[in-house]
């Protein structure tokens, strides 16, 4: 029977402890991405669902900062058309630097579609929750940039306010793939959002 030398055992224990005790910056290169989430094909009720288009405006969705956001606008525009045809509620946000006029062509709000202005959590300091509840909304579809800003924090706010979250991963855009991946992972695995979040794509959503 092989007997491990005490010093060898100690070295093994210390190495394992070092890997566990090191801070995330020290261990940065050891991080491996988790498996990609499975995407669903959810069916939503038009009368109980709202589409939230968050900060899809010139200051935040542009070729210089977030070209992936610009590339996602046609898919958002196509789904927006379906949502409007089904009479689904549509709400917008822009940052303090923006206005109704700076929201990008293709997803321009109609006069009757309401806009809120806030920081990363569009529920904070706005009437968004009251507006949604007044329409009997139970589920929100989140499209927004940045992934780690408006999309992540507004989805978290939605969960805290009791809404189900449909998260189309093709319209949660950031300045890097890592940002998008980390935001999607956080929402699908976070203690406040995991139970109420469904990952999908815009084309896979059925509106009833």
Q: Do 165 and 155 meet the contact criterion of CB atoms below 8 Å apart? A: yes
- Structure confidence at residue 21 (pLDDT): 80
The span from the CA of 155 to the CA of 167, in Å, is 9
- Structure confidence at residue 14 (pLDDT): 52
- Structure confidence at residue 17 (pLDDT): 56
- Structure confidence at residue 113 (pLDDT): 98
Residue ranges in 43-160 assigned as alpha helix (H): 67-85, 128-134, 152-160
The span from the CA of 32 to the CA of 169, in Å, is 20
Which one of 3.90.1150.10, 3.40.50.850, 3.40.190.10, 1.10.760.10 gives the CATH number of domain 38-207?
3.40.50.850
Structural domain spans, the chain: 38-207
- For residue 77, with 0-12 CB atoms within 10 Å meaning exposed, 13-18 middle and 19 or more buried, which class applies? middle
Tens digit of pLDDT at every position of the chain (208 positions): 555 555 555 555 555 555 578 999 999 999 999 999 999 999 999 999 999 999 999 999 999 999 999 999 999 999 999 999 999 999 999 999 999 999 999 999 999 999 999 999 999 999 999 999 999 999 999 999 999 999 999 999 999 999 999 999 999 999 999 999 999 999 999 999 999 999 999 999 999 9
Q: Do 145 and 69 meet the contact criterion of CB atoms below 8 Å apart? A: yes
Structure tokens at 182: 């980390």
DSSP 3-state of 64 = coil
């Amino acid at each position: 029977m092989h007997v491990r030398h005490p010093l060898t055992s100690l070295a093994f224990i210390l190495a394992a402890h070092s890997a566990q005790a090191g801070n995330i910056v020290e261990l940065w290169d050891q991080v491996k991405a988790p498996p990609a989430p499975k995407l669903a094909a959810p069916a939503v009720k038009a009368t109980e669902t709202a589409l939230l288009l968050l900060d899809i405006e010139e200051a935040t969705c542009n070729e210089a900062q977030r070209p992936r956001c610009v590339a996602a606008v046609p898919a958002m525009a196509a789904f927006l058309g379906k949502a409007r045809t089904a009479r689904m509620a549509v709400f917008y946000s822009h940052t303090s630097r923006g206005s109704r006029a700076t929201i990008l062509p293709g997803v321009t709000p109609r006069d009757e579609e309401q806009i809120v202005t806030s920081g990363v959590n569009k529920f904070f300091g706005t009437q968004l929750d009251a507006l949604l509840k007044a329409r009997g909304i139970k589920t929100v579809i989140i499209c927004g940039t940045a992934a780690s800003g408006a999309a992540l924090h507004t989805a978290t706010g939605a969960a805290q306010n009791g809404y189900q979250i449909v998260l189309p991963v093709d319209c949660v855009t950031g300045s890097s793939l890592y940002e998008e991946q980390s935001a999607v992972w956080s929402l699908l695995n976070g203690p406040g959002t995991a139970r109420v979040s469904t990952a999908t794509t815009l084309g896979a959503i059925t509106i009833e």
